């Protein structure tokens, strides 16, 4: 299995809703990531989990709350979002480190979020 699976593919939510994005991989990768991508822009890093511990938070607002229940699963909990949070949310995974510390990212297909 060489895939990263994300659900749901599409999500529409109001500003008062609470929802979650889910990500799963079975490649034995020990690092998992959340990226946000706006139209015609590159992916922007949000969070990195390494060995199920949060290792990087790129100053993301607290209305985004990540969770890593185990080494195969990564969630992103959403609450009180704003319309400007509408974007494609990409999950990725990688082996913890190649020999140099550079990691090849395997991306999921993404969850397209619309906040009304």
Partner 1 sequence: GQNIDQPTEMTATEGAIVQINCTYQTSGFNGLFWYQQHAGEAPTFLSYNVLDGLEEKGRFSSFLSRSKGYSYLLLKELQMKDSASYLCAVTNAGKSTFGDGTTLTVKP
H-run or E-run covering 10: strand 10-13
Bridging pattern class, strands 106-107 and 64-70: unpaired
Kindly indicate which of the ranges 12-20, 35-43, 62-70, 77-85 contains the residues binding partner 1, using the contact rule CB under 8 A: 35-43
- 90 touching partner 1, by CB under 8 A: yes
- 54 touching partner 1, by CB under 8 A: no
Strand order of the sheet with strand 18-25?
Answer: 4-7, 18-25, 73-79, 64-70
**What number of CA atoms fall less than 13 Å from residue 45's CA on the CB side?**
12
Measured from the CB atom, the residue of 27 and 80 that comes closer to partner 1 is 27
Kindly indicate which of the ranges 20-28, 60-68, 69-77, 106-114 contains the residues binding partner 1, using the contact rule CB under 8 A: 106-114
Kindly indicate which of the ranges 17-25, 64-72, 77-85, 94-102 contains the residues binding partner 1, using the contact rule CB under 8 A: 94-102
- 102 touching partner 1, by CB under 8 A: yes
Using alpha carbons, list the distances in angstroms from residue 44 to 1, 26, 48, 60, 88.
Answer: 26, 24, 12, 11, 10
Which of residues 12, 15, 54, 56 is near partner 1 by CB under 8 A? 56
């Amino acid at each position: 299995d060489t895939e990263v699976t994300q659900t749901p593919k599409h999500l529409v939510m109001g500003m008062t809703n609470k929802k979650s994005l889910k990500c799963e991989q079975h490649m034995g990768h020990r690092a998992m990531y959340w990226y946000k991508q706006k139209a015609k822009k590159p992916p922007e890093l949000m969070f990195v989990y390494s060995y199920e511990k949060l290792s990087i938070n790129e100053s993301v607002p607290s209305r985004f709350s990540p969770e890593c229940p185990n080494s195969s699963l990564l969630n992103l909990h959403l609450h009180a979002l704003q319309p400007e949070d509408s974007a494609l949310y990409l999950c990725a995974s990688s082996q913890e480190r190649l020999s140099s510390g550079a990691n090849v990212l395997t991306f999921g297909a993404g969850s397209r979020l619309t906040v009304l």
